[in-house]
Amino acid sequence: MTTATNAAISPADAFVARARTAPGAPFLIAPASAELAYAPDGFSHAYGDVLRRLGIIRQAFAAAGYGRGSRVALLLENRPEFFWTWLALNSLGVVIHPLNPELQAADLAYQFSVVEPSCAIALPEYHRLIHAAGPTLPVVAPGEPPPRCARAPEAGAPAADDACAFLFTSGTTGRPKCCILSNAYFLGVGRWYVSQGGMATLQDGVEILLTPLPMFHMNALACSTVAMILNGGAIVPLDRFHARRWWRSVADSRATIVHYLGVMPAVLLKLDEEPAERGHRLKFGFGSGVDARHHEVFERRFGFPLIEGWAMTETGGGGVTSTAQGPRHIGQRCMGRPTATMEYRIVGDHGADVTPGQPGEFLVRTRGADPRRGFFSGYLKDEAATREAWAGDWFHTGDVVRSDGESLFFVDRKKNIVRRSGENIAVIEVEGVLETLAAVAGAAVAPVPDDIRGEEVLALIKLRTPPPDAEHAGALARDIAGACAEKLAYFKVPGYVAFVDALPVTATQKLQRAETRVMAANAVGAPGTIDLREFKAMLRQRNRAGAA
């Protein structure tokens, strides 16, 4: 990193410093082989070009009254417009609220009620969705003049501790929570990434990082984007993971790093061999959740290491691990080692440290006088949840891990979530929608293994009338899934449905989650369980066609 980027107080500061020293260096790249619908010939934008566009947007928003503490929602996918719009707003001290286009209007309406943005900048095809979620929220397309900001900005210049972005993370006992992420948070994540060393050693000014992950997630926004700004590298922001053109995109972009979700290696290993899969310049892949059975096979076939990391939106660069240095323990779900500035504990159900080598909940914090340094700033409008997460001045991750004294190993999640293709799905949210349906008397949702997506959603459903015969059960299950899709993002819709006579409950009618998991595991592949995974894929295509 340069002296200028080290002194930066925000991602925009760091970007401007890089752009002034190397205006001709590439910043955003996509090859034609990525087959992006909006850029069939690909694109390449240098730091200086993005700086110029940033300046135009900054001037327009400043003139419209936006400044420190203003809030703007963005629905620009992974397109170049996202990057120069974000950096322009960040340079003014405006907080961005990146939106997931897969969410339903009700989901976005809840998010808007928490964030209270002054306007939304969205691609034209999403304006209808924005209007449905926030009928009074002004929305403009990128490049259009912004509406007048209804809220006066805060006094003073933007600061390191000011909020940079609001990202929502799935809750397990209610609505998703909104993480407040500061400028210091983003720079901290980026600085950690570029300083990992070992197998993840970076060369200043030459790296090209390809990511198919969305910019409304912390990984792509902080690990990918801010890290490359600090490194002076380039980003290849794909619209999503396309397996059959993946290796051509990697090779043609001359990427040196790829980011992945655990689902991606499994998919790529199923493809027939092709010359492009070895025609790359990759130093490493970085991600989490690769299936232990696939890790060694993947590296041997494709010729580069997969570096596993662990972090949460809340922990940022304050609580993070990586296998870049030290033993990787391939095949054992190894999370690697913590940074030197991170402290951790592994505790049992009653809060006492477990015996070394035994699994327990993972608690993390930063060493020194400020245990929250580098972490999120809190949950917006939810101080009680923030205090609960930081009970005893340790951040409670809800993940269960074990340690061999040097490396950490992921065991399971304590929280009631399904992690499907990188999305955290709260089972209580899916259950709540199922139980609104007229045919459903009760429902219990649990994660079940999925070779491609990591986990899938399985719903155990008790009907108000006796279950139908096998001939009609499939039709009823699809009707239920279709009704869920009207209220939930497609990825939250059950991928399996099993009709049951009774649900496992306690004397006070609370679901017995452990028993639910056992029933769900036994249901997969059992007679009478309806596999809806192909139906979910059809729902996704239908939703996309409707949005267009």
C-alpha to C-alpha distance for 164 and 97, rounded to whole angstroms:
9
User: What is the torsion angle, in degrees rounded to the nearest 10, for the CA atoms of residue 367, residue 371, residue 373 and residue 375?
Assistant: 110
Distance CA 490, CA 492 (A): 5
CA dihedral 450, 455, 461, 466 (to 10 degrees): 0
Total Cβ atoms within 10 A of residue 228: 26
- CATH homologous superfamily of domain 419-547? ANL, C-terminal domain (3.30.300.30)
- Token pair for 47: 């730091």
Q: Does residue 286 sit in helix, strand or coil?
A: strand
CA-closest candidate to residue 319, choices 351, 341, 352, 347: 341
CA distance 187 to 184: 5
d(C-alpha 328, C-alpha 332), whole Å: 9
Do the domains at 3-403 and 419-547 have one common CATH topology? Answer: no
Digitized pLDDT (tens) for each residue of the chain, 548 residues in all: 777 778 899 999 999 999 999 999 999 999 999 999 999 999 999 999 999 999 999 999 999 999 999 999 999 999 999 999 999 999 999 999 999 998 999 999 999 999 999 999 999 999 999 999 999 999 999 999 999 998 999 999 999 999 999 999 864 445 789 999 999 999 999 999 999 999 999 999 999 999 999 999 999 999 999 999 999 999 999 999 999 999 999 999 999 999 998 889 989 999 999 999 999 999 999 999 898 889 999 999 999 999 999 999 999 999 999 999 999 999 999 999 999 999 999 999 889 999 999 999 999 999 999 999 999 999 999 999 999 999 999 999 999 899 999 999 998 777 777 888 888 787 888 998 999 999 999 999 999 999 888 899 999 999 999 888 887 999 999 999 999 999 999 899 999 999 999 999 865 567 888 889 999 999 999 999 999 999 998 888 877 766 55
Burial of 169 (0-12, 13-18, 19+ CB in 10 A): middle
Do 175 and 109 touch, CB atoms closer than 8 A?
Answer: no
By the 8 A CB rule, do 255 and 228 touch? no
pLDDT of residue 546: 64
C-alpha span between 160 and 183 (Å, rounded): 5
Give dist(CA 304, CA 276) in Å, integer: 14
Parallel/antiparallel/unpaired status of strands 163-169 and 177-182:
antiparallel
Backbone angles phi, psi at 392, to 5 degrees: 70, 20
pLDDT at residue 171 in the model: 46
CA 148 to chain centre: 31
Q: What pTM does this model have?
A: 0.86
Residue 366 DSSP symbol: E
Q: What is the pLDDT of residue 172?
A: 40
Q: How many CB atoms lie within 10 A of CB 113?
A: 12
Read off φ and ψ for residue 535, nearest 5 degrees.
-65, -40
Helix (H) or strand (E) run with residue 17 in it: helix 11-21
Res 507: pLDDT: 55
H/E run at residue 267: helix 263-269
- Number of Cβ atoms within 10 Å of the Cβ of 87: 26
Closest CA relative to residue 485, chosen from 133, 191, 85, 103: 103
CATH for 3-403?
Answer: 3.40.50.12780
Confidence at residue 548, expressed as pLDDT on a 0 to 100 scale? 55
In eight-state DSSP terms, residue 311 is -
User: How many other CB atoms are found less than 10 A from the CB of residue 116?
Assistant: 15
What pLDDT shows up at residue 173? 44
Structure tokens at 48: 């200086």
Q: Could you tell me the maximum CA-CA distance found in the chain, to the nearest angstrom?
A: 71
Report domain extents, the chain. Answer: 3-403, 419-547
Backbone angles phi, psi at 39, to 5 degrees: -145, 70
pLDDT of the residue at 406: 93
